[in-house]
């Protein structure tokens, strides 16, 4: 994220991945030195990613893993901004959709994110999950349609992907952009990443780990 680099207060920001993309997180950790913090660019707990992050940090006491980006009030505020940009109205039925929840802890994160979104939006928010545990998104949309109002999907994802494609095929009236949106990222999202890294008290290297 170039915006994070520009605001990192002298810390070096290095991209890394925990899936098949390169550079791998393990390689980045091995090739760098000094105090390092890994910031997981994920919105919910992920069992596989957490294991890989912990393994990457296990052998060097100067490496720590920051909390995940979500759930957080900042993401709820940006989610409401995306709803407004998409033309959502107070009378609409809102369904927050997460691409993936791999277990109870992830589902708890998604549920909390929905409660935060509901509080900022000022109305109820239903929850659907594209893949994993929780209410399948097609069932969540069926329940939402029973209210006989427009159904608006709030995408609980940083960027577009297969989850967004699946939602489009299910026939919601409106689907929001992901939290990153198009163009320059919301400055609040950049600030949240830096807050998770806690880079301001000390110079060092900041690694942004993505799937």
Q: What is the pLDDT of residue 181?
A: 80
Q: Where are the alpha helices (DSSP H) in the chain?
A: 2-6, 25-31, 47-57, 73-85, 104-121, 137-145, 162-169, 187-197
Contacts of 169 (CB under 8 A, 6+ apart): none
Q: What is the pTM of this model?
A: 0.88
Domains defined for the chain, CATH in brackets: 2-69+184-210 (3.40.1010), 73-175 (3.40.50.1400)
Q: So what's the pLDDT on residue 200?
A: 39
User: pLDDT digit string (tens) for 148-166?
Assistant: 999 999 999 998 775 666 6
Q: What is the pLDDT of residue 12?
A: 82
* pLDDT tens digits along 73-88: 999 999 999 999 999 9
Q: What integer pLDDT is reported at residue 203 of this predicted model?
A: 41
Question: Structure tokens of 135?
Answer: 């209410």
Q: What are the tens digits of pLDDT across the range 21-45?
A: 888 888 898 888 888 899 999 999 9
């Amino acid at each position: 994220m170039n915006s994070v680099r520009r605001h990192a207060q002298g810390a070096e920001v290095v991209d890394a991945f925990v899936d098949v993309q390169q550079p791998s997180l393990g390689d980045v950790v091995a090739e760098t030195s000094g105090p390092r913090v890994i910031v997981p660019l994920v919105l919910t707990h992920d069992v596989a990613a957490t294991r890989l992050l912990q393994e990457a940090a296990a052998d060097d006491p100067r490496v720590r893993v920051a909390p995940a980006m979500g759930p957080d009030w900042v993401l709820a505020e940006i989610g409401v901004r995306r709803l407004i940009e998409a033309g959502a109205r107070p009378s609409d039925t809102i369904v927050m959709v997460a691409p993936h929840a791999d277990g109870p802890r992830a589902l708890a994160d998604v549920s909390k994110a929905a409660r935060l979104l509901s509080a900022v939006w000022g109305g109820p928010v239903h929850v659907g999950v594209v893949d994993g545990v929780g209410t399948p998104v097609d069932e969540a949309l069926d329940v939402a349609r029973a209210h006989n109002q427009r159904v608006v999907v709030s995408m609980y994802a940083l960027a577009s992907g297969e989850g967004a494609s699946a939602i489009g095929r299910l026939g919601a009236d409106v689907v929001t952009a992901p939290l990153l949106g198009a163009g320059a990222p919301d400055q609040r999202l950049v600030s949240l990443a830096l807050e998770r890294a806690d880079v301001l008290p000390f110079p060092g290297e900041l690694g942004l780990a993505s799937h």
